[in-house]
Amino acid sequence: MIDRILFTKEGRKFYIRDASKDFHSEFGFFSAADISKGGAIKSNKGTEAYVINSSFIDEYERIRRSPQIIPLKDIGSIVAYAGIGKKSTVVDAGTGSGALAIFLANICKKITSYEIRTDFYEIAKHNIAELGIKNLTIKNKDVCAGIDEKNVDLITLDMPSPWEAISSIKKALKKGGFAISYSPTIPQVSDFVEAARKSEIFSGIRTIEVIERDWEVTERKIRPKSQQIGHSGFLTFARRIL
Ligand SMILES: C[S@@+](CC[C@H](N)C(=O)[O-])C[C@H]1O[C@@H](n2cnc3c(N)ncnc32)[C@H](O)[C@@H]1O
């Protein structure tokens, strides 16, 4: 767990695990007494810094990543369009590093995530323990072989062949619930949409790409930042009606 966050005046960010110990950095050391007090502090070399308590997003930024994780902009759209909240139950696959599952666990009532690979399952298990998440269960299982949970509000799929999970979704997703697939390429989107249509249980199948653009704002130099992330993935939403 991360205890405190320290920002230097120049904008460097440090994660402090234990506020009861002095923190050493290239800017000198910050005393445990100052860190615990919080607010504006100085290192022994005179560097000014500010200390705040950590929050979920700081912990989340620190998770161990193995396969590619889904960006926050796409998680935002999943949460918003599915309208999930503290009463929602969710199933997720594949777990990967557990990034999406961990984020959703912070919002929903209960989430179960399926991961076929044991090495990724172990990484996700480590991340979940590290963040102290209690409402997320991970299963080292193939989601296409079946989902144990029933009547769930949302099923998220971030895996190479999401269309192969349609029959599992059919048995687990409640009417009115959403299946949301995240895929980096159009052939994957096409195969998922085709399989979802064929199943005849969904309505309003819709695919979007969420584009996020950072801007540089320095006095009158206001323009999009030149180095931008090109493409992450496409989100396909399907709502179960039958
Ligand atoms: C891109 S990663 C998922 C990343 C994850 N959403 C995150 O945010 O950390 C895709 C994962 O799907 C897993 N996977 C592939 N096929 C699967 C299946 N049939 N059942 C469960 N997991 C599967 C892979 O092993 C891999 O870990």
Quickly count: other Cβ atoms within 10 Å of residue 173's Cβ: 25
Domain 4-54 maps to which CATH number in 3.30.470.20, 3.75.10.10, 3.40.50.1000, 3.10.330.20? Answer: 3.10.330.20
What is the pLDDT at residue 121? 98
For residue 65, give the ligand 1 atom closest to its CA: 9
Please tell me the distance from the alpha carbon of residue 79 to that of residue 106, in angstroms, as a whole number: 11
Q: Exposed, middle or buried, 221 (CB in 10 Å: 0-12/13-18/19+)?
A: exposed
pLDDT at 41: 96
Nearest to 90 by CA among 69, 113, 72: 113
Confidence band for 2, pLDDT divided at 50, 70 and 90: confident
Burial class from Cβ neighbours inside 10 Å (0-12, 13-18, 19+) for residue 143 reads: buried
pLDDT for 209 equals: 97
CA distance 121 to 139: 8
Q: What is the full DSSP assignment across 22-76?
A: -EEETTEEE-HHHHHH-EEEE-TT--EEEEEE--HHHHHHT----SPPPPHHHHH
Report pLDDT for 228: 67
pLDDT digits (tens, 9 = 90+) for 79-90: 999 999 999 999
Q: Which of 18, 10, 106, 16 is nearest to 57 (CA)?
A: 106
pLDDT tens, residue by residue, 8-24: 988 899 999 999 999 99
Q: Which of 104, 159, 178, 176 is nearest to 137 (CA)?
A: 104
pLDDT for 185 beyond 90 = yes
Atom index in ligand 1 nearest the CA of residue 97 equals 9
- Model pLDDT, residue 66: 85
What does the pLDDT read at residue 229?
64
Ligand 1 atom closest to the Cα of residue 143 is 20
The bridge status of strand 202-209 relative to strand 173-183 is: unpaired
Query: Domains of the chain: which residue ranges?
Result: 4-54, 62-240
Q: What is the pTM of this model?
A: 0.94
> Measuring from each residue's beta carbon to the nearest atom of ligand 1, which residues come in under 6 Å?
67-70, 93-94, 96-100, 114-117, 120, 142-144, 158-160
Backbone φ and ψ of 104, nearest 5°: -65, -35
- Which residue has 């990967």 as its token pair? 96
pLDDT digits (tens, 9 = 90+) for 66-106: 888 999 999 999 999 999 999 999 999 999 999 999 999 99
Q: How far is the CA of 94 from the centre of ligand 1 (A)?
A: 3
62-240 CATH choice from 3.40.50.150, 3.40.30.10, 1.10.1200.10, 2.30.29.30: 3.40.50.150
Tens-digit pLDDT profile for residues 197-234: 999 999 999 999 999 999 999 999 999 987 766 799 99
